Amino acid sequence: MSDLGKLRRELEDLLGADGVISDPVQLRTYECDGLAGYRVTPSLVVLPTTSEQVAESVAAAHRAGVPFVARGAGTGLSGGALPVAEGIVIGLQRMRAILEIDPVNRRAVVEPGVTNLAISKAAAPYDLYYAPDPSSQQVCTIGGNVAENSGGAHCLKYGFTTNHVLAMEVVLPDGTRTWLGGPSPEVAGPDLRGVVIGSEGTVALVTKVVVRLLRKPESVRTLLADFPSIEQAGDTVTDVIGAGIVPAAMEIMDQLAIEASEAAVGAGYTLDTPAALVVELDGPNEECALLFDAVREICQRNGTTKIRVAADDAERLMIWTGRKAAFAAVGRISPDYFVQDGVVPRTRLAEALSRIGAMGRAAGIRVANVFHAGDGNLHPLVLYSEEAGEHGRAEKLSKEIAELCVELGGSLSGEHGIGTDKACSMPTMFTEDDLATMDKVRRAFDPENLCNPGKLLPTPRLCGERPGKYRPHPLEQAGVIDRL
Ligand SMILES: Cc1cc2nc3c(=O)[nH]c(=O)nc-3n(C[C@H](O)[C@H](O)[C@H](O)COP(=O)(O)OP(=O)(O)OC[C@H]3O[C@@H](n4cnc5c(N)ncnc54)[C@H](O)[C@@H]3O)c2cc1C
């Protein structure tokens, strides 16, 4: 029996038959994440329900020398959960218990498959919430958020996942279970919790998370302002921050992104405006009211053509639904798309956007923009049609946009991670010594290179022959063989 056959028997004994997927058709459910242009079918998928089962599954894979990839909800946009063909996927979605809400210490202890939004829902009766809010929050898991150090619209004021995770139980790549961090923010010794956050599943599997909860603000005020140009919306963002105001969120959408979002959810954005800016302020009532007036004035000074102020919670929610639906809604105006995730210094936003526009025109590819403007975190949506043979051109443009952000003094990723997508661009941002140091850290946890190999750091194999979009085999095209 092959190593994989032996491992499968061992895992079935451990998890029961319904905890192991080996049927070729069912395995295809796991062949990609949100970066659907890249697909690899894994050999096995296991669905543990406890930390012990995760540890035993990892230990068994480690003994067999078989690579393993953790998966939460598979909403990642950089191919972080892309399987390894000869490896297993460890799906953590069955581990979705909220183990404890501690309102006095403002903490929650949750399993890794709990969705981001479920934490806030569970904390709501205590007037508390979990601050990082990816637009995918209804489905993405806290385990995936930790692995990606995920952000969201409100991270401008409140910080990213790393600022809200106190401790976690992890399974190391040899199957050892341990805790990193502690119940209070200050822990002696090196911050190994920080090493795992943002490591994209390459150093450990997260099996429990202790998150910080925040008190809901006394007041929240939201406006949606239209602008005659994206540059004017961008200048407004710079002026708001320049005035010493730190809004909870500042988001920009361009006309294409608005068109897609309106087609999907009809939140009432103006269809023919070149740019819309959402600004949300929160805090004590008086402070919030004062600063809100100041923001309105700054919008007017920058030539806003229309300001809509959310009259109540329902309207506020509607404005956010429009913004948060934008990525997924792009499917309405384009059959395929890449979501890019670069960061530029805020002062270079206008320059970045106009260069991206020019690059898109030169490539004959439409680019929609929706972004966390306050952070300088761009999300150009590169729209293409696989059927029309545009995949290669769109992929090239997407890569060039990410590398442009580095050239402008920014970063390859603001929150979606490097994954498979941008591993080969890492040398544009880091020196060989930097990359070797990162590799040493990773190898300290995973000397055998079994834990999500080929992600985050460039490897000659990965950069030479990237796992690409599925292309039919000539025999399949000739009707001799079928794809299961
Ligand atoms: C419509 C849409 C909107 C989005 N908006 C945002 C946004 O606003 N902000 C943002 O930051 N992201 C956003 N994302 C990206 C994505 O939702 C996040 O990266 C999210 O954290 C992924 O969570 P997941 O559970 O789906 O993880 P997956 O996609 O399953 O996995 C992501 C990575 O985490 C690793 N991983 C998963 N679970 C674990 C675990 N328990 N232990 C160790 N490693 C693990 C995987 O190996 C992989 O490398 C969006 C995605 C979509 C589709």
**Per-10-residue mean pLDDT, the chain, length 484:** 83 96 95 91 97 98 97 96 96 98 97 98 98 95 98 93 97 98 83 96 98 96 96 92 94 93 93 96 95 97 97 95 89 89 90 92 94 91 92 93 96 95 94 95 96 90 57 59 53
Q: Is the CB of 58 under 6 A from ligand 1?
A: no
| Residue to probe by mutation, ligand 1, list 95, 110, 114, 150, most atoms within 8 Å of CB | 150
Q: What is the pLDDT of residue 474?
A: 55
Which of 78, 144, 82, 136 lies closest to 113 in space, CA to CA?
Answer: 144
Dist. CA 71 → ligand 1 center (Å):
9
Which atom of ligand 1 lies closest to the CA of 417?
19
**pLDDT, position 167:** 96
> Rounded to whole angstroms, what are the CA distances from 68 to 86, 197, 242, 319, 449?
9, 18, 47, 40, 10
Check residue 459 and give its pLDDT: 82
Sign of the dihedral defined by the CA atoms of residues 340, 149, 316, 324, in that order: positive
Ligand 1 centroid distance, CA of 112 (Å): 12
74 and 30 in contact (C-beta within 8 Å)?
yes
Distance 64 CA to ligand 1 centre (A): 28
Best CA proximity match to 64, nearest among 3, 137, 22: 3
Is residue 200 lining ligand 1, measured as CB closer than 6 Å?
Answer: yes
Ligand 1 atom with the shortest distance to the CA of 70: 47
Q: Residue 284 corresponds to which tokens in the numbers above?
A: 């004590």
CA of 6 to the centre of ligand 1 (A): 31
Chain centroid, CA 238 distance in Å: 25
Q: Closest Cα to atom 36, ligand 1: which residue?
A: 144
Secondary structure of 297-354 as H, E, C letters: HHHHHCCCCEEEECCCHHHHHHHHHHHHCHHHHHHHCCCEEEECCCECCHHHHHHHHH
Q: Which of 77, 110, 455 to mutate to test the pocket of ligand 1 (most atoms within 8 A of CB)?
A: 77
Instruction: Identify the pLDDT of residue 402.
Output: 95
Does any ligand 1 atom lie closer than 6 A to the CB of residue 333? Answer: no
Partner residues linked to 336 by β-bridges:
384
Instruction: Indicate if ligand 1 lies below 6 Å from the C-beta of 135.
Output: yes
Candidate from 58, 135, 137 with most ligand 1 atoms within 8 A of CB, to mutate: 135
Give nearest CA residue, ligand 1 atom 6.
134
- Say yes or no: CB of residue 452 within 6 Å of ligand 1: yes
pLDDT of residue 61: 97
What is the SS3 assignment for 117? helix
Task: Write down the pLDDT at residue 481.
Answer: 58
State both tokens at 240.
């708001």
- Contact between residue 359 and residue 411 where contact means Cβ atoms under 8 Å apart: no
Identify residue 277 by its one-letter amino acid code. L
Residues 180, 228 contacting (CB under 8 angstroms): no
Helix 230-242 vs helix 285-301: crossing angle, to nearest 10 = 140
How many angstroms is it from 218 CA to the middle of ligand 1?
30
d(CA 215, CA 123) in angstroms, rounded, equals 10
Cα distances (angstroms) measured from residue 282 to each of 8, 194, 286: 52, 28, 10
What integer pLDDT is reported at residue 349 of this predicted model?
Answer: 87
Residues forming beta bridges with residue 225, ordered by sequence position: 277, 307
